[in-house]
Structure 1
Amino acid sequence: MQDTFVTIAKFQYSTEAEIIKGRLESDGIKVFLKDNITIDTDPLVSNAIGGIKLNVLAADEAKAKDILNSIKAYSLNDDGEAIVCPNCGKHRIELYSTITNFKSLVSFLIAFITGTLPFSARYQYKCEDCKTEFPIKN
């Protein structure tokens, strides 16, 4: 079981996957990228096939995940400071789109076609620790 590969992360494009691969290999972790050549050939299929999978040996999974968590970039405010969760006070905040269902997808597509995209796309922050969602403050 320790000689099998497990997927620990997925990336839309190969550039970020290659950077993370290099970082993990520099710490002695064997890394295998799956579907990177397919996506390099045709980047439009990335979402359809689930992106580039970053695989490591099962024995190195915990160490690799710790390294990934230590280098993960989180959202910053306009002054370059980490955004703080209003609920728990932690800094593990990510930006995400609120396009989550069919209705919001149709609204997004109509806005895109009519050229009003910046006014229709809505984004919020989400804390990875307590899962609190809060809006962007201007």
Structure 2
Amino acid sequence: MAERLVTIATFNEPTEAHIVKGRLEAEGIPCFLGDEHIVAVQPFYSVAVGGVKLKVTEGDADEARAILARIQGGTSEYILDDNIELAPPMQEHVQQLTCPNCGSEHVAEEKFSKTVFSISYLLLGFPVPFVSRKYKCYDCGYIWQQE
């Protein structure tokens, strides 16, 4: 015969309930969230329906409550298996532009011509983005185009 579901916790926010549900499922305890969709669509109904209910089977209720107490107490640590190898963090290589005039790295790309942008806004009432890929050095004021 199927086991009954027991409510072990209630939450006002579905996001918080999903975090705890994910943690219990990571520990091997199957879970179910009741009334999560009602609260997600109408957050003010949370009080009326009693919040989002985290439910587990009767057989897993004691273990789930113990895990929940550890989580709420701040003493819960999820231990990874030793045979799982984590990938090293990826490092992004960003090519830094330098000013050909003075060698400064205080350079910015100007994608739009400010002159065309301003004149079209004054004459037409809306700005026309005229693409112009120029670079400007803020140290010496030099302006150039990348080839």
TM-score, normalization by structure 1: 0.51
Aligned pairs for 1:24-103 within 5 A:
24-73=24-73
Match of 1:134 in 2: none
- CA drift of 1:3 comes to 1.4
Q: Which has the larger radius of gyration?
A: 2
Match of 1:5 in 2: 5
Aligned residues: 74
TM-score, normalization by structure 2: 0.48
> Unaligned stretches of 5+ in structure 2?
75-147
Matched residue SS, 1:45: helix
Distance in structure 2 (CA, Å) of the matches to 1:5 and 1:51: 16
Distance in structure 1 (CA, Å) of the matches to 2:2 and 2:66: 18
> Given that residues 2 and 59 in structure 1 are in contact (C-alpha distance below 8 angstroms), is that contact kept between their aligned partners in structure 2?
no
> Given that residues 6 and 57 in structure 1 are in contact (C-alpha distance below 8 angstroms), is that contact kept between their aligned partners in structure 2?
yes
Distance in structure 2 (CA, Å) of the matches to 1:59 and 1:35: 22
Amino acid at match of 1:17: A
> Given that residues 12 and 51 in structure 1 are in contact (C-alpha distance below 8 angstroms), is that contact kept between their aligned partners in structure 2?
yes
Matched residue SS, 2:48: coil
Could you tell me the percent identity over the aligned residues?
A: 45
- CA drift of 1:46 comes to 0.2
| Alpha-carbon RMSD | 1.5
Amino acid at match of 1:6: V
Distance in structure 1 (CA, Å) of the matches to 2:2 and 2:56: 10
Structure 1's 40 and 28: CA in aligned 2 closer, same or farther, altered over 3 A? same
Match of 2:14 in 1: 14
> Given that residues 2 and 57 in structure 1 are in contact (C-alpha distance below 8 angstroms), is that contact kept between their aligned partners in structure 2?
no
Moved over 4 A (4+): none
> Given that residues 8 and 61 in structure 1 are in contact (C-alpha distance below 8 angstroms), is that contact kept between their aligned partners in structure 2?
yes
Distance in structure 2 (CA, Å) of the matches to 1:28 and 1:5: 16
Distance in structure 2 (CA, Å) of the matches to 1:48 and 1:72: 25
> Unaligned stretches of 5+ in structure 1?
75-138
Distance in structure 2 (CA, Å) of the matches to 1:73 and 1:66: 10
Higher relative contact order (CA 8 A, sep 6+): 1
